[in-house]
Amino acid sequence: MQKRSELFFNLIRLPLDFLAVVGGFVLAYIIRVQLEGRAVPYPSGAAIYLQLILLVVPVWIFIFALSGLYGQTGQKGRLEEIGKIFAAVSGGTMFLVLLDFLSVQPIFPAKAIIIYGYGLSFLFLVLERTVLRSIQRWLYRYGIGSRRTIIAGSGSIAQQLAEDMARNGGHRLVAIVDAHADAQKRIKYVPVYKTIAEAVAKVGEIDEIIQADSELPEQEVLALVEYASHNQVTYRFVPNNFGMYSTQSTMQVMAGVPLLEVRKTPLEGWGRIIKRSFDLVGVFFGLILASPIFVLVAIAIKLTDPGPVFYKHKRLSRSGKTIYVYKFRSLLMQYSTGSGYTGKTDAEIFMEMGRPELVEEFKKAQKLEKDPRVSRVGRILRKTSIDELPQLLNVLKGDMSLVGPRPIVLDEVEHYGSQADTFFALKPGLVGLWQVSGRSDVDYDERVKLDIYYVENWSLWLDIKVLAKAVVTVLTGKGAY
């Protein structure tokens, strides 16, 4: 999992790259048209030229992305990054040359502008990336942005990785986990522990585990994987040393050693930024469109069953974090559960109602097909799913996403079994894949499969399709109760 500082530096590169390229071509124009003093073959105004550059530069940014310039740049070698910048700038310049060739009228006042812009853009990009890299490495000295790392192993590969971490600063090696008798002698400047549990108890929270050439027993290796999975910690391993692969594995090279990172979901790095941006845009328009409904529902609830309009329910979010999910209150006040209402559990209320048979039905899916506690207004709200609209506020706060596995309560975790950690790899969503696949017509086992499928196969296009289907599902009322 990427740290927030890594995401920030990846994100800030976009506008800075844009300014570097625009600045290069603006300076190229000034040098050729205004400073050289020579006549230009195809005179054009500076404003028209600038408009053209602003329209074309986004294509360059797209080429930069394809070249891999927006990955974990802080972890790349300096020469590797410069090489990618050179290739990307060359590709962008070739696009300009092709555009100029295909245009009926010359795009540039003089051909030399393309050459000057090519060189200046490359220079500005290298300088910009150098400054960013220097700032990032300076922050590493104070522990800001560096990844607290544990290496499993103390052999030659582990030593090679440890030396690289000491030089580059992006990783802060806090412990070694290895059962070898001479492990502490091999890597003297880092404490060595025999188990991951002992290491974490001593050094505290970590960001990454790298499985190298250890002599750990199989059970402890499994414990490493389980710890990483349960605590949303990045897990990487040397492929020749550890035969485990994943459809979401990504390859990186550190100190000349190939490392595979196992990911539960493609929603990492830029995926998180894209999804959050999509959520914010969607919730902005959603709240505007839903505001009249909020007012009407609030009035209806107050008139028919006086009491709070909203109901907060404790659920589990990403990494098992507790959140409070907002809903319009659909239960009668006398049957509402939790603090601030009756203070009783669902089971206690069913027993008081003389309906003990409902306890087991509710336990299976956390809802009832015909819930006697629901008010008249509440039945309409549930049938139309309007009761879920206040969760737009959860999306705005960042507790939830527009699309994702529906938030669950603690009692539901057992349904996910060994896949619970995969489920908790993402924030829950206002709309889930299972809801557009039948809603209440889908049994819980199938719901679990759909949730896990979404986590492992996320894409922006999938989110768009789920939202589109959700609109149709709500309008038809299919599967609701």
Spatial distance between the Cα atoms of 275 and 403, rounded to a whole number of angstroms? 9
Q: Give residue 294's pLDDT.
A: 92
Shared domain check, 215 and 124: no
Q: Give residue 171's pLDDT.
A: 84
The per-residue pLDDT for range 279-334, each reduced to its tens digit, is 888 888 889 988 999 999 999 999 988 888 888 888 888 877 888 899 998 888 87
Spatial distance between the Cα atoms of 402 and 407, rounded to a whole number of angstroms? 12
Shared domain check, 151 and 136: no
Q: Which of 209-223, 238-252, 320-334 has the lowest mean pLDDT?
A: 238-252
Shared domain check, 322 and 432: yes
Spatial distance between the Cα atoms of 9 and 69, rounded to a whole number of angstroms? 12
Q: CA 159 → CA 47, 77, 147, 151, 188, distances in Å?
A: 57, 19, 18, 9, 10
Predicted confidence band of residue 263 (pLDDT cuts 50, 70, 90):
low
- Degrees to nearest 5, angle at CA 413 with 460 and 423: 20
The domain total for the chain is 3
Shared domain check, 82 and 173: no
Shared domain check, 312 and 403: yes
191: domain range? 147-262
Shared domain check, 439 and 296: yes
Q: Is the pLDDT of residue 241 over 60?
A: no
Spatial distance between the Cα atoms of 349 and 148, rounded to a whole number of angstroms? 48
Q: What is the mean pLDDT of residues 235-242?
A: 66
Shared domain check, 129 and 59: yes
Q: Give residue 366's pLDDT.
A: 65
**Closest C-alpha to 320, from 224, 416, 459:** 416
Last-in-domain residue among 140, 167, 195:
140
Predicted confidence band of residue 24 (pLDDT cuts 50, 70, 90):
very high
Shared domain check, 253 and 278: no
Q: Does 364 reside within a domain?
A: no
Q: Give residue 415's pLDDT.
A: 76
* Sign of the C-alpha dihedral computed for residues 19, 25, 30 and 31 taken in this order: positive
Q: Give residue 83's pLDDT.
A: 82
Q: Give residue 243's pLDDT.
A: 43
Phi/psi of residue 257, nearest 5 degrees? -105, 125
Q: CATH number, domain at 236?
A: 3.40.50.720
Q: Does 354 reside within a domain?
A: no
Last-in-domain residue among 114, 140, 166:
140
User: Strands 147-152 and 208-211, how do they pair?
Assistant: parallel
Predicted confidence band of residue 244 (pLDDT cuts 50, 70, 90):
very low
The per-residue pLDDT for range 115-147, each reduced to its tens digit, is 999 999 999 999 999 998 888 888 887 778 788
Q: Does 460 reside within a domain?
A: yes
Predicted confidence band of residue 476 (pLDDT cuts 50, 70, 90):
low
Q: Give residue 296's pLDDT.
A: 93
Q: What is the mean pLDDT of residues 27-52?
A: 81
Shared domain check, 402 and 290: yes
User: Which one has a higher pLDDT value, 240 or 405?
Assistant: 405
Shared domain check, 187 and 85: no
Q: Does 298 reside within a domain?
A: yes
Q: CA 74 → CA 44, 82, 263, 404, distances in Å?
A: 41, 13, 20, 30
User: Strands 257-262 and 234-237, how do they pair?
Assistant: antiparallel
Q: Give residue 73's pLDDT.
A: 46
Instruction: State the chain's mean pLDDT as an integer.
Output: 80
Q: How many CA atoms lie within 13 A of 39 on its CB side?
A: 2
User: Which one has a higher pLDDT value, 344 or 460?
Assistant: 460
100 exposed, middle or buried (CB, 10 Å; 0-12, 13-18, 19+)?
A: middle
Q: Which two tokens stand for residue 149?
A: 């790392």
Shared domain check, 288 and 249: no
Last-in-domain residue among 140, 173, 195:
140
Shared domain check, 318 and 437: yes
Q: Does 101 reside within a domain?
A: yes
